[in-house]
């Protein structure tokens, strides 16, 4: 009897799980109406060959992401003592071929980013729900502005937060 009850519960639980999975499974997508025939494939290939690179938008230009060599450590001060530490890893989005300029000016960009991060910490940006999208959007925008001011808008196209963690004490 001790073995029968767990086995029955296992079977009922498994059956309920399978049933829920089948019930909640998304509908399959209908097959595409446009089937590719050899004639349409040839005409599409010819159209792609005729398109010039000048017709492509600036958004499709090749970008690369430069990871800054060290993490940023930001102390969170409360009641004249360090209450927690925030550690961030940042990447800078630049047009292809401009990564060396980021590495050459990394001390300057780190200083500018640290100023933004300290100001953000001082206004409470890393308090509470610090990973909220609105908070992180404000931080990204501020970092982008200072990055573009420091290196130029033609170089810095975006700032990405690749890692963020807070350690409370």
What pLDDT is recorded for position 54?
47
Lowest mean per-residue pLDDT among 32-36, 50-54, 64-68, 143-147: 50-54
Per-residue pLDDT tens over the stretch 70-117: 999 999 988 889 999 999 999 999 999 888 999 999 999 999 999 999
- Among the ranges 3-17, 43-57, 118-132, which has the highest mean pLDDT value? 118-132
Mean pLDDT over the full length of the chain: 81
pLDDT confidence of residue 53? 47
- Written as one string, the DSSP assignment of the chain is -TTHHHHHHHHHHHHHHHHHHHHHPPPPPPPPS----HHHHHHHHHHHHH--GGGS-GGGS-EEEEEPSS-EEEEEEETTEEEEEEEEEEEEEEETT-HHHHHHTHHHHHHHHHHHHHHHHHTTTTSSSTT-HHHHHHHHHHHHHHHHHHH-TTT--EEEEEEEEEEE-
Q: Which CATH number fits domain 59-168: 3.30.479, 3.30.1050, 2.40.50, 3.40.50?
A: 3.30.479
36-50, 80-94, 121-135: the lowest-pLDDT one:
36-50
Q: Evaluate if pTM is beyond 0.95.
A: no
């Amino acid at each position: 009897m001790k073995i029968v009850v767990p086995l029955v519960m296992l079977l009922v639980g498994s059956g309920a799980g399978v049933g829920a999975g089948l019930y909640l499974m998304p509908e399959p997508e209908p097959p595409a109406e446009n089937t590719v025939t050899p004639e349409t494939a040839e005409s599409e290939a010819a159209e792609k060959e005729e398109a010039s690179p000048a017709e492509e938008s600036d958004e499709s230009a090749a970008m690369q992401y430069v990871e800054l060599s060290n993490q940023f450590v930001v102390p969170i001060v409360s009641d004249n003592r360090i209450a927690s530490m925030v550690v961030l890893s940042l990447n800078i989005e630049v047009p292809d071929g401009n990564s060396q300029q980021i590495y050459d000016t990394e001390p300057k960009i780190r200083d500018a980013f640290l100023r933004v991060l300290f100001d953000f910490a001082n206004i409470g940006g890393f308090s509470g729900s610090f990973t909220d999208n609105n908070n992180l959007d404000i931080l990204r925008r501020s970092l982008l502005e200072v990055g573009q001011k420091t290196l130029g808008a033609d170089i810095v196209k975006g700032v990405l937060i690749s890692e963020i963690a807070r350690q409370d004490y």
